[in-house]
Structure 1
Amino acid sequence: MYAIDLHAHTRFFHGRRSLGDRYDPVGVRLLTEVARRRGLDGVATTNHDYYTAFDPSPAVATLPGIEITTDRGHVLVVGPDPPAATKPGSLSPAEAVALAHDRDCAAIVAHPFRNSTVRELEEVPFDAIEVNGKHPRSQPLVEQLADERDLPLVGGSDAHYPFEVGRAYTVVEADRLTPASVVDAIRDGRVSATVSRTGFDSLLRRAYRTIHDRKGVIDAIDRSTPGVGTPPGEEETADR
């Protein structure tokens, strides 16, 4: 059994490519150090529309990945050989999944209820659906979606800053931790999503909930149902 954060980024310099490129090696070291401190066994580096191979960490496995920006939302691709780069918005979700499968990777619906309509595509052969650490109050909807599609759930923090790592993660049943074994476990359904419930994570959730509410990016949660997906003790602030 391994605990892996399947959705993390090595940079927060989104508008400054050259600065971000220089920061990436530092970013991955910080990601793996926080992952180690939080008791994780691995973390996938899923930067937006590009993949870089990083030096292995002695304490925490770094798994190859990329977050592809399709014309309908984001798709996580994790496995031995993700594409080196994709042009944002140039691929459909079906094309992104085909690309992932051609390269022996798993294709995962990322944050299905945030700025995405990928979840509506029943015919696309995704391998899993993500419970995203930034807004776990949508977890009941994600679970329902996964049940309807007969797909496993995985967890990822969607960390853009190192301290966010591990807010959500995936428990993987495997004999050893390799990119190929993780892909096999996802496809076989030997995975489960876990959301961290520490006090620090609760504060982060409230902060991101406020940010996303103001941006209007939680586009599919029924706000007429107070507290949906909200951890006990946080109901009063669920929709502020």
Structure 2
Amino acid sequence: MTCILLVEDDDVIRKTVSMALGRYGYQLDTAADGLSGLEAFRGGGHDLLVLDVMLPELDGISLCRRVRESSQVPILMMSARGDSLDVVSGLEAGADDYVVKPVDIPVLVARIRSVLRRAAAPAEPSGGASSGGASSGEASSGVLTFGELSVDPAALEVRLSGRLVELAPTEMRLLLEFAAHPGIVLERATLLREVWDYGWDGDSRVVDLCVQRLRKKIGADLIETVRGFGYKLRRS
């Protein structure tokens, strides 16, 4: 059974969400403040964390950063009124997605399922892996190379100048999507559909912030912004 840690200081929301997710078959652990949430996380065994932004003792953004110091467990943030600063701060801290309070349970469940799918099995990029940007010396092994970056879709390994790069599941899926279409501009809506598994219009800030995190890990120059359209991976 999937175990979710819900950290929410509002008693009514915490109990309501816990009961609702329980009816969907999830096992729930809960905490009412950030420090208790951190202690519960360190106890282990959670498949996903749902964190409120505004928490006593340790706020949700700081809690997210502390978790990311040691774990790539999927994290979903809850933000009141969809405040732009909260959303951006949460995504920059390493959250995978967010939902707006008051929480719509079917939307929350859909986001949870989507995040868990991405974490459990990084998807084969749409259209399959392409060798269009790969060096010929690596093509036979299935490893794609883009300058100093090498991507092994089968092993889900990424290396920069020979050094293994640790990517979160969503970052890996995003890079696989770029690597399958080197030199081709991918619109944000396309990336939301293929990487985030959104069957509805999502917030493009999710894409932008994940691209930003990915650039920090593989190099800022590899992923080019095409203003007004989206992003593309440079062929070399």
Pair in the same fold by TM > 0.5 = no
Q: Structure 2-normalised TM-score? A: 0.34
The higher radius of gyration belongs to: 2
Q: Structure 1-normalised TM-score? A: 0.33
Higher relative contact order, structure no. (Cα contacts within 8 Å, ≥ 6 residues apart): 1
- Whose helix fraction is larger, Structure 1's or Structure 2's? 2
